[in-house]
Structure 1
Amino acid sequence: MESKASTTIAKTSLQSPKPKERDLLHHLEAYLAKRDGVDKLLKISRYATKIILASSVLPETLTLTGRLKSFETSVGLSRKAFRLGKFVQDLNALRNSHFDSKQELVLSIIANGGEGLYYFVEQFIWLSKSGLIDSKHSRNLQKISAWAEFIGYMGSISLKFMDLKRIKEDEACLESTIEIAVARGNGCLEEEQRLRKLREKKLMKKLSIVQDIADGLMALADIRDGKGQLSAPLFISCAGLLSALISTHKNWVSC
């Protein structure tokens, strides 16, 4: 009796219909319910506007140019408001992490500590720009924020390269297992599914590294007060838009 029941359950599970894809509007609702979802849409709007302004496609005398500058400034201030309390997630990430080596521990402290300090200082920059704190402190706060952000991204990029190396090693092992199974005429459906998920994870990790590099370049431009070729407004605006698009894709897939 047990074997028949098991067979029936197995057949039922194999024949059960695949889960339907989530409705687009429901997916959008879930995405916009997240703080990061709204923040990244604002980031896309801001850097798309900055690209238009930096590319000089509009005449300086045009009324639209002034409106776009005002819009860009307003969106930038709104994004700072969205970061209130966001430093707590870095504290929790650091507290809940498990490390395989001292190197990972140090890099995680640099990555989460730098980003956490950046988000913490950004709260005071928002208060300064909003007029609650004397604006004379704004410049020093922005320097601290930029350095913390830059250092955090250096740690984050290093950690992600280590993760990417591990993913590639796992991928190579799975590929070898599949090759052996095929040569022996055995089925390897489960391994192929794991390999597909692993490759998707590898792609997302690569995109995340590109995003961190783009954000790191923007932080470096803030540190250098916009000086140097890598701090050109159009280049930095394109880096910001690239970062926003990658982050939007990651948040959309995960929600």
Structure 2
Amino acid sequence: MDSKSATPDPKTQNPIAPAKPTSKNQKDFLTQLEIYLAKRDGVDKLLKISRYATKIILASSLIAQEPLVTRLKSFESSVGVSRKAFRLGKFVQDVNALRSTHFTSHSDLNFVLNVIAYGGEGLYYFIEQFVWLGKAGLIDKRRLPALQKWSAWCEFVGYFGSVSLKVIELRKIDEEERCLVASIDLAVLRGIECREEHDKLRKLREKKMMKRLSMVQDLADGLMALADIRDGRGRLSAPLVVSSAGLLSALISTHKNWISC
């Protein structure tokens, strides 16, 4: 008998069981969740979801029990103050964005819109620090109405600039997409393989979708800022409408931040 045939195959002697995909997926999810929660925006958006979900419950009168309603109102108010604390120093990122605007803007219109977007948002975050100090009791609360009014105006102006920029960017993406589709169609007619172009088209459409979601988020946040400016007057400033807009904005932002992790 051949000695090689009597020797057991080491590959079959101690087979290694494949890793369970479920545990690996669970590990990936937990790792991504850890990274997400380590970010200031990640925690802020989770607080935003809980706050506006609570506001929707209160605005829709789903709960009639007075003790529970009081607790929900107290919870919503506390979460709102906590979110303002998370924004301390956040205006610095808008200052840095303004510093680089001169190099990233390719036209005078883009430059002006960047100044409006980042300038308005930066002033909003800066004033919000004093609003938080007022709600925390360090600043005289009589100054809060004026501070909140200025904050809402700055936020609204910032979102106006941001939405305008995204409209221009979406037009450029649409034009780039049409050119890419035309080149792919021409390559198909000539029998040329264009796998790389298809990959570019897929990424471009993903970018387009994220840009649209970002614009919807800005419109929802702008609606809430407008409601603050109008002191809750008007149909678009109804509590249920504003709360729904806030929840939509929070969900979109959470989705964007989760993907970025």
Structure 2 length-normalised TM: 0.88
CA distance in 2 between counterparts of 1:188 and 1:76 reads 51
CA distance in 2 between counterparts of 1:222 and 1:30 reads 33
- Which of 82, 85, 88 lines up with 1:78 in the alignment? 82
- Which of 159, 162, 168 lines up with 1:156 in the alignment? 162
- 1:110 is aligned to 116
CA distance in 1 between counterparts of 2:244 and 2:105 reads 35
SS at match of 2:61: coil
Which structure has the larger Rg over C-alpha atoms?
2
Q: Does 1:95 align with 2:99?
A: yes
CA distance in 1 between counterparts of 2:187 and 2:35 reads 41
- 2:209 is aligned to 203
- Which of 51, 54, 63 lines up with 1:58 in the alignment? 63
- 1:10 is aligned to none
Map residues 183-202 of structure 1 onto 2, 5 A cutoff: 183-202=189-208
CA distance in 1 between counterparts of 2:97 and 2:83 reads 22
Q: How far 1:62 sits from its partner (Å)?
A: 2.6
Map residues 19-34 of structure 1 onto 2, 5 A cutoff: 23-34=28-39
Map residues 34-45 of structure 1 onto 2, 5 A cutoff: 34-45=39-50
CA displacement, residues 17-71 of structure 1 (integer Å, 9 cap, x when unaligned): xxx9880000001111100000000000000000000001111x43111100000
Identity %: 69
Q: How far 1:95 sits from its partner (Å)?
A: 1.2
CA distance in 2 between counterparts of 1:72 and 1:88 reads 27
- 2:18 is aligned to none
- 2:51 is aligned to 46
Cα root mean square deviation, aligned: 1.1
- The one-letter amino acid paired with 1:119 is Y
CA distance in 1 between counterparts of 2:240 and 2:136 reads 27
Q: Does 1:181 align with 2:187?
A: yes
CA distance in 2 between counterparts of 1:177 and 1:159 reads 27
Uncovered stretches (5+) of structure 1, i.e. residues with no partner: 1-19
CA distance in 1 between counterparts of 2:66 and 2:142 reads 32
Uncovered stretches (5+) of structure 2, i.e. residues with no partner: 1-23
CA distance in 2 between counterparts of 1:193 and 1:254 reads 20
Q: How far 1:147 sits from its partner (Å)?
A: 0.1
- The one-letter amino acid paired with 2:206 is E
Q: Does 1:237 align with 2:253?
A: no
Q: Does 1:252 align with 2:258?
A: yes
SS at match of 1:145: helix
Worse-matched range after superposition: 96-105 or 107-116: 96-105
SS at match of 2:212: helix
- The one-letter amino acid paired with 2:60 is S
- Which of 149, 154, 161 lines up with 1:143 in the alignment? 149
SS at match of 1:23: helix
CA distance in 1 between counterparts of 2:57 and 2:196 reads 49
- Which of 67, 82, 88 lines up with 2:71 in the alignment? 67
Size of the aligned set, in residue pairs, is: 235
Q: How far 1:93 sits from its partner (Å)?
A: 1.2
